[in-house]
Chains A and B, each alone.
Chain A
Amino acid sequence: MATDTVTPTPHATGKPTEARHATAETASRTTVKVRALSREFDGRGVLHDINFDIRDGEFVALLGRSGSGKSTLLRILARLDDEYTGTVQAPKRPAVAFQDSRLLPWKKVLANVMLGLPTRGVDGTETRARAEEMLAEVGLTDHAKAWPKTLSGGEAQRASLARALVRRPELLLMDEPFGALDALTRLRMHQLLRTLRQRHRPALLLVTHDIDEAILLADRVLVLTDGVLSLDLDIPFPVVGRRRRPGFTELRDRLLEELGVADDDR
């Protein structure tokens, strides 16, 4: 699945557009459709002929070593980079959660969550209520009026998640959002992400270098090796209790191998 045949696209047709070509043979509805995507930086190829889909509500993890082009791919999907060739169909305004929480330090937490939300209701009361609700979902009600600099790393990431989800995005892009957190906080963030996903159901692309994180959370794993999608694998486990499933270790080894790392503890 999802490794459809590549429809050749005439390259160098100027700026990429929303629907440079359309092939609608996929069974379920897709949120993201990437075809023949390549990206160069000063003549150095970073992404080569990338093809994949993300279906509505699907959770895809993108694994890769540093420098493999993961972040470049995410930036293209986030529409922060349009200097590519090929076709990318993605929602117009995906939400992004960055590795650093990227809260504006001069705005209090609630104002950060409300950033860019259209003002609704009298004096924006409706917008405000929505933002407060979202903060409650991530358990930060008490910190609504706090300055971002006073938050812990985990709290800041939760605020960042609230800001991303408050706009009810069709697509949520996450760039190693838990990479800088300690192991315990990361586990709690995983749990929170599962809950939020159940409730909001966005299509999700999680860029990570943590294999366990990918297997524990995602429906599908993509591996990017030197700018090429080298693996596209469904995770055959139900949502919970994955670590104890038979086959977990094998899957983990398989992905480790794909990333070119041998597990000493084998």
Chain B
Amino acid sequence: MVTIDEALVPGTDDRFARKRRKRNGKSATALIAQRAAGPVALLLAWWIVSATGLISERILPTPVAVFEAGANLIGNGELATHLLASAQRAGTGLFFGVIVGVLLALVTGLSRVGERLIDPNLQMLRAMPILALMPLAIVWLGIGETMKVSLVALGVMFPIYLNTHAAIRGADARFLDLAATAGLNKLQLIRHVTIPGALPGFFTGLRFSVAIAWLVLVVAEQTNATSGIGYLMTRARGLSQIDVIMVGLLVYAVLGLASDALVRIIERKVLSWRLTR
């Protein structure tokens, strides 16, 4: 039987993908080559239109120019500095956002009173686009680190809260019966049944959260920042350094992919029980 949790978790899809791959009888390398073909073709097209002058280099620099700008930023240590600043903000925001989200989900998930008191407020806040809160955040918290990290934390909190809350509330009634017949007390029930059962939902939320952390950060760093990838790009815009802007975009893409992969790896380790077949 497929529970709602299982259906929600992206990891589950991989299993089917693997099966399908085997059925087609194609080797892994052939499939990787196929998947890489699209991006490679795109890169080639970019090169052709920019190198032939079809599109002006002031609008679209060649891949080589972007590569050189990137190498330059790495060489003078600027990229590392800004990357570290961004990663610190994202990490701190993620840390606090996850803690607050999980705590709220536990309160609303385990207590009906808590749910009635807190959940409507959060559902209402959720309807607001997080970035629209920026002017208010600046007035309240200033333009420093606190504002940026708080916005990230707030953005991160919602997916964590919503998914973990839903997972706790959607706990399998069969396991609750089992816990009752095994004589588990409330604490044991939470420890042995509720929390492990809600972990898949938590990880779904975490993957959304990581993506949102970067998204909020990009915007927050473009306002009144003196460090970070967002700042690097804003500064480049002022100097019309399109190649640097593009380096920034690439860095964001890599960061997004890498952090998502990291969460998946952790998820696979923690939820190893569900992937064994």
Contacts of A94 in B (CB 8 A): 181
B181 touches which one: A78, A107, A150 (CB < 8 A)? A78
Contacts of B178 in A (CB 8 A): 96, 98, 102, 104
Q: Are B181 and A104 in contact (CB under 8 A)?
A: no
Identify the stretch in B26-34, B189-197, B232-240, B244-252 within 8 Å (CB) of chain A at 4 or more residues: B189-197
Number of interface residues of B (CB under 8 A): 22
Contacts of A149 in B (CB 8 A): 273-274, 276-277
B188 touches which one: A79, A95, A105, A116 (CB < 8 A)? A116
Q: Are B174 and A116 in contact (CB under 8 A)?
A: no
Residue from B177, B184, B277 having most chain A Cβ neighbours under 10 A = B177
Q: Are A98 and B174 in contact (CB under 8 A)?
A: yes
Contacts of B179 in A (CB 8 A): 116
Q: Are A80 and B180 in contact (CB under 8 A)?
A: yes
Q: Are B180 and A79 in contact (CB under 8 A)?
A: yes
Q: Are A80 and B177 in contact (CB under 8 A)?
A: yes
Q: Are A104 and B276 in contact (CB under 8 A)?
A: no
With A78-B181, A95-B181 given, is the CB distance from A104 to B174 under 8 Å?
no
State A98–B178 Cα separation when bound (angstroms): 9
A237, CB-defined interface residue at 8 Å: no
Contacts of A78 in B (CB 8 A): 181
Contacts of A41 in B (CB 8 A): none
With A80-B177, A98-B174, A102-B178 given, is the CB distance from A93 to B192 under 8 Å?
no
With A102-B174, A104-B193, A104-B196 given, is the CB distance from A116 to B276 under 8 Å?
no
The interface residues of chain A, by DSSP majority, are classed as loop
Q: Are A100 and B175 in contact (CB under 8 A)?
A: no
With A100-B174, A149-B277 given, is the CB distance from A106 to B181 under 8 Å?
no
Contacts of A107 in B (CB 8 A): 192, 196, 273
Nearest A residue to B200 via CB reads A106
Write the A74-96 contact mask toward B (1 if CB under 8 angstroms, else 0).
Answer: 00001110000000000001111
A147, CB-defined interface residue at 8 Å: yes
Residue from B175, B178, B184, B274 having most chain A Cβ neighbours under 10 A = B178
Q: Are B197 and A106 in contact (CB under 8 A)?
A: yes
B75, CB-defined interface residue at 8 Å: no
Contacts of B196 in A (CB 8 A): 104, 106-107
State A98–B276 Cα separation when bound (angstroms): 23
State A84–B181 Cα separation when bound (angstroms): 18
Write the A136-149 contact mask toward B (1 if CB under 8 angstroms, else 0).
Answer: 00000000000111
Q: Which residues of A come within 8 Å of B, CB atoms?
A: 78-80, 93-96, 98, 100, 102, 104-107, 115-116, 147-150, 163
Q: Which residues of B come within 8 Å of A, CB atoms?
A: 174-175, 177-184, 188, 192-193, 196-197, 199, 271-274, 276-277
Given A104-B196, A163-B182, 12 further pairs, Cβ under 8 A? A79-B180, A80-B181, A93-B183, A98-B174, A98-B177, A104-B175, A105-B273, A107-B192, A115-B192, A116-B188, A149-B273, A149-B277
Which 5 pairs of residues, A with B, have the shortest CB-CB distance? A116-B182, A106-B196, A96-B181, A147-B273, A106-B273
26 contacts between A and B (CB under 8 A): A79-B181, A93-B181, A94-B181, A95-B181, A96-B178, A96-B181, A98-B174, A98-B177, A98-B178, A102-B175, A102-B178, A104-B175, A104-B192, A105-B274, A106-B273, A107-B196, A107-B273, A115-B182, A115-B184, A116-B179, A116-B188, A149-B276, A149-B277, A150-B276, A150-B277, A163-B182
